[in-house]
Amino acid sequence: MENTIFHVDDVEKRFGGLLALSDVDLSVKEGKTHAIIGPNGAGKSTLLNVCVGLIKPDRGTVTFDGELVTGKQPHEINQMGIARVFQTPEIFPDLPLIENVMLPVLSSRDGSFKFAPFASLRRDKEVLEEAEHYLEDVGLAGQMRNLASALSRGDKRRLELAMCLIQHPRLLLLDEPTAGMARHDTNKTIELLQKIKARGMTKVIIEHDMHVVFSLADYISVLAQGRIIAEGTPEEVKNNPKVKEAYLGEAADDE
């Protein structure tokens, strides 16, 4: 029987008079890729922000592997084994790629920002080799000494993935991982995420591009006006009349 590793239970969130999320229930199976789709303003990013502790829900809870997530700070949630890739790549443009990837290891060490921390890490052969491994994994090994500011948008996204992977997360949350990419970069990102999927890592992905969704997702939840209106396999969702009306429209017939 598949294990539910991540669960959102009866979550509601209001911003003044706006009901952003209402009665949201979501169950993510371990080792699966669970996509959340919906039109702009549906509440997708708000839901992800609730999941990582950036927004406190007005009602409901989030649990990870049986442990309560709701009420914890973002860094505590990260330490539980949950990593997030943001819609706009969160990297350090003035640092080389290799130091960007080492930084999550550095930040987890008490007092590590004292006394030339990067020089200390460079002497840590294990961390260096691991950072180099993940840069190679995402196809950026040849640029590891370059500044991150010189990267294309697609490469910045891959760098951020390497920064997440070195943390060895059990759950990876991706917010629009191909937003703004050309089709070539999108296809490279799909290949990378398929490689990560083959390793059994659990992922929740928010994405507008249905080609990306149907290439990666094992299960899909459809959010509209803050509510889950449909769930199922990609084929079930693709053929759901409510989904076609609310989001996919005629595009669903073109896939």
Whether residue 141 is found in the same domain as residue 249: no
Report the CATH number that the domain containing residue 54 is assigned in CATH.
Answer: 3.40.50.300
Q: Which of 122, 146, 168 is the last residue of a domain?
A: 168
Domain total of the chain: 2
Same domain, 77 and 176: yes
Are 250 and 133 found together in one domain? no
Is the Cβ–Cβ distance between 140 and 132 less than 8 Å? no
Residues 118 and 98 in one domain: yes
- Does residue 69 sit in the same domain as residue 102? no
Instruction: With a cut of 90, say whether residue 86 has pLDDT above it.
Output: no
pTM (2 d.p.): 0.87
Q: Mark whether 75 and 98 lie in a shared domain.
A: no
- What is the Cα–Cα distance from 6 to 81, expressed in whole angstroms? 11
- Separation between Cα atoms, residue 137 and residue 163, nearest integer Å: 11
Whether residues 10 and 44 fall in one domain: yes
Do 120 and 240 share a domain, yes or no?
no
Residue 194 and residue 220 in one domain = yes
- Residue 154's pLDDT band (cuts 50, 70, 90): confident
Final residue in a domain of this structure, among 153, 168, 183: 168
Domain annotation covers residue 195: yes
Residue 185 lies in a domain: yes
Look at residue 191 and tell me if it is in a domain.
yes
- Average pLDDT score over residue span 115-133: 74
To the nearest whole percent, how much of the chain has pLDDT over 70? 89
pLDDT score, position 36: 96
Residue 86 lies in a domain: no
Last residue of a domain, one of 102, 137, 168: 168
- Residue 251 has a pLDDT of 45
Bridge partners, residue 85, by sequence: 174
pLDDT tens track for 36-57: 998 888 999 999 999 999 999 9
Domain ranges, residue 107: 93-168
My answer on whether 77 and 191 are in the same domain is yes
Task: Determine the pLDDT at residue 57.
Answer: 96
Assess whether 35 and 142 both reside in one domain. no
